[in-house]
A and B are shown apart, each in its own frame.
Chain A
Amino acid sequence: MKLATHTPGALETRLRKIRDEGRKILVPYITGGLTGWVEAVRGAAANGADAIEIGIPFSDPVMDGPIIQMASEKALRDGATPNSILHELRTIDVAVPLIVMCYYNTVFRAGHDRFASTLRDSGVVGAIVPDLPLEESVQWASAADKSQIETVMLAAPTAPDERLPRVIDRARGFVYAVGLLGVTGERAELATTAVAMATRLKKITDIPVLVGVGISNAEQAMQACAVADGVIQGASVVRRLLEDGPDSVATYVAQVRAAIDSPIVSNR
């Protein structure tokens, strides 16, 4: 295993501490701008989320399945903009780190430096840009570094072994292990690629490894956490927010928290 050579930022330090204390990391995803999203963020923070990923809706979300597409379209129709969402984050006052998920055109249009400093000023500590692979990430990554925004890199099951160390080398905060071949969304079973991907990554890095995409319920979160340091849950959270409102998000987060804290997982 290769030890990280960068100095961990606020997000990574926090997640490393949780991991080193023997706990699993839970990161729910919530589409910004949806009715009740701010309440949902607070509810998730109060019920066991270790960090929260806020999605900035984009017109053409190619990495997202039907639920998050629908949420993005709805938020955009209701007038959400990157500015309106980041503005609300300034006053949200939750005790967990906030990470933004946005497609690259949102960053590019705003300008790398301006976007990074706006994130920082809004209290955001991390960013995930799913359509910005390693080779295209230089400009953004350097702007993000300057503003202390930790850029989470995605590692996919299709990556050959020689590629993973280069991706990890640029990862800050944590490594996002893509759990399956496909876009975000709920699946009946946890894909075998989820644990396989976490295993490949854990062998070669000490940065926290979180599995996301296709982690659809508490049971699947437990299965992924048998190897991974934690999970990211998107569609299952957003679907609850869309269907039943923010309280259901809080209940769900508490349920997943309890599941991944159960002795079966920690005593692996």
Chain B
Amino acid sequence: MNAKPVPTELLTPGADGRFGDFGGRYVPETLVPACEELERAFDDAWNDSLFRTELDDLLREYAGRPSILTECHNLGAQLGIRLILKREDLNHTGSHKINSVLGQALLAKRMGKKRIIAETGAGQHGVASATAAALLGLECKVYMGAVDVERQSLNVFRMKLLGATVEAANSGSRTLKDAVNEAMRDWVASVETSYYCIGSVMGPHPYPFMVRQFQSVIGKEARKQFRTMCDGADPNVVVACVGGGSNAMGIFSGFIDAKTRLVGVEPAGGAAVGRGTPGVVHGMKSYLMQDEYGQVQEAHSISAGLDYPGVGPEHSYLASVGRAEYPSVNDQEVIEGFKLLARTEGIIPALECAHAVAWIAKEAPKIQGQTVLMNLSGRGDKDVAQMMTILGDKLD
């Protein structure tokens, strides 16, 4: 568990789209040319200084980057560690999702697409997609599991306010996994005019790589900011929650070559890396919660954004080579983590990030005196109504 971190290189997948054994492009034949086109378009854009400048300008002047670091003096003292947050919750739309969405929406326009499709769990990626679509004049359709539509009604309204169409996915477990299925079905039918804006470091190549590149801004900023704050040192531990894993890959990417322990916290009911086995779904080979016949199992988590039985392939790779570790926490611990950060620091985290808080609180006795950098990838406003139902008058 407390193994010495082994610095490694950040991988760039080759034509086969693989991170070690993981990744690839397992899509219906109809989508293969679209994935190839996207791979070329992204490569071209990423190496084009005009595109990069346009994206950087948007990130700065629209999303509000760079996001700041906040040291948690109260909670740190209470836990016996030095705890610092990367404040992605302060971005426009309230989470890290905007980083990738602005990049992808710009790319969609550059590719001549008029419409973007997105899936969403907690609604953060849906809101970010609807926002970027409104800004850049694109049509936007968001698929969301019917269960999530229910528990994140505020975000559903937000998306509609921004001009997006929200469609409830009523198949399967009616959560994020099924929203991805519906989005892929839409894409198969609309591939010539539509861009599929995937919300995490998942899906067929080049998505896991591309979304990581767009999110790597988190890690780049954080490394520099942390060194400024902590006399040139790197953190002992970097922690982030993991559903599909984009906020975690975003921050990990900045520390992969550092002597820093990388920890991705999964929900106990959706621990793809921790409890899954290699499988193939949603276009990628990765760890997956599945039964003996390969039927994908339903994840269960208090947070809609982590309610996903798979995980981005690069996380599977980092786990397989021992570079990152993927412990899990249960819903009760998450609720405590949620309250803990609110009470001690005056910051209400998204339920997703409360997983990272929960792990830190649990791990604290073993990492006394260490520096811990946590990616606070989203704010908890969207979860307040749900928590009100859960906690009710138990809140004292």
> Taking the complex as formed, is B91 at the interface, i.e. its CB lies under 8 A from any CB of chain A?
no
Report how far A60 CA is from B28 CA in the complex, Å: 13
Closest to B292 in A: A109
Q: Tell me if A104 and B280 are in contact (CB < 8 A).
A: yes
> Taking the complex as formed, is A167 at the interface, i.e. its CB lies under 8 A from any CB of chain B?
yes
Interface 1/0 per residue, B149-193 and A, CB below 8 Å: 000000000000000000000011000011001001100111110
Report how far A204 CA is from B178 CA in the complex, Å: 38
Interface 1/0 per residue, B22-47 and A, CB below 8 Å: 00111111111110000000000000
Main secondary structure of the interface of B (DSSP, over half): mixed
Q: Tell me if A109 and B296 are in contact (CB < 8 A).
A: no
**CB within 8 A of A131: which of B26, B33, B34, B288?**
B26
Q: Please, which residues of chain B bring their CB within 8 A of the CB of A82?
A: 293
Q: Tell me if A133 and B296 are in contact (CB < 8 A).
A: no
Q: Please, which residues of chain A bring their CB within 8 A of the CB of B231?
A: none
> Taking the complex as formed, is B232 at the interface, i.e. its CB lies under 8 A from any CB of chain A?
no
CB distance from B202 to the nearest CB of A (A): 13
**CB within 8 A of B172: which of A73, A109, A153, A182?**
A73
Interface 1/0 per residue, A67-110 and B, CB below 8 Å: 00100010010000111000000000000000000001110111
Q: Tell me if B282 and A60 are in contact (CB < 8 A).
A: yes
> Taking the complex as formed, is A263 at the interface, i.e. its CB lies under 8 A from any CB of chain B?
no
Query: Of the 9-residue stretches A38-46, A116-124, A158-166, A230-238, which lies at the interface with chain B?
Result: A158-166
Q: Please, which residues of chain B bring their CB within 8 A of the CB of A143?
A: none
Q: Tell me if B296 and A135 are in contact (CB < 8 A).
A: no
Q: Tell me if B296 and A181 are in contact (CB < 8 A).
A: no
Q: Tell me if B293 and A181 are in contact (CB < 8 A).
A: no
Q: Tell me if B29 and A155 are in contact (CB < 8 A).
A: yes
Q: Tell me if A133 and B188 are in contact (CB < 8 A).
A: no
> Taking the complex as formed, is A62 at the interface, i.e. its CB lies under 8 A from any CB of chain B?
yes
Q: Tell me if A136 and B24 are in contact (CB < 8 A).
A: yes
Given the known inter-chain contacts A62-B28, A131-B26, please indicate yes or no for A181 contacting B188, CB distance below 8 A.
Answer: yes
Q: Tell me if B188 and A105 are in contact (CB < 8 A).
A: no
Report how far A81 CA is from B294 CA in the complex, Å: 10
Given the known inter-chain contacts A106-B294, A132-B26, A136-B24, please indicate yes or no for A183 contacting B279, CB distance below 8 A.
Answer: no
Closest to A109 in B: B294
Q: Tell me if A133 and B172 are in contact (CB < 8 A).
A: no
Closest to B183 in A: A62
Q: Tell me if A65 and B296 are in contact (CB < 8 A).
A: no
> Taking the complex as formed, is B281 at the interface, i.e. its CB lies under 8 A from any CB of chain A?
yes
> Taking the complex as formed, is B74 at the interface, i.e. its CB lies under 8 A from any CB of chain A?
no
**CB within 8 A of B184: which of A62, A69, A110?**
A62
> Taking the complex as formed, is A156 at the interface, i.e. its CB lies under 8 A from any CB of chain B?
yes
Q: Please, which residues of chain B bring their CB within 8 A of the CB of A106?
A: 293-294
Given the known inter-chain contacts A59-B296, A60-B172, A181-B188, please indicate yes or no for A133 contacting B181, CB distance below 8 A.
Answer: no
> Taking the complex as formed, is A245 at the interface, i.e. its CB lies under 8 A from any CB of chain B?
no
Q: Please, which residues of chain A bring their CB within 8 A of the CB of B281?
A: 60, 105
Closest to A82 in B: B293
Residue among A62, A65, A104 with most chain B CB within 10 A: A62
A-B contact pairs, 27 of them (CB 8 A): A59-B296, A60-B172, A60-B281, A62-B185, A62-B188, A65-B185, A69-B171, A104-B280, A105-B280, A105-B288, A108-B279, A109-B292, A130-B28, A131-B26, A131-B280, A133-B26, A135-B25, A136-B25, A154-B28, A156-B29, A157-B30, A158-B31, A159-B29, A163-B32, A178-B30, A182-B185, A183-B185
Q: Spell out A's residues near B (CB within 8 Å).
A: 58-63, 65, 69, 73, 76, 81-83, 104-106, 108-110, 130-136, 153-160, 163, 167, 178, 181-183
Q: Which are the 3 A-B pairs with shortest beta-carbon distances?
A: A109-B294, A182-B189, A156-B30
Given A131-B27, A133-B25, A133-B32, 20 additional A-B pairs, CB 8 A? A58-B295, A59-B295, A59-B296, A60-B172, A60-B281, A62-B184, A82-B293, A105-B288, A106-B294, A109-B293, A134-B32, A154-B30, A156-B32, A157-B30, A158-B192, A163-B32, A163-B33, A182-B185, A182-B188, A183-B185
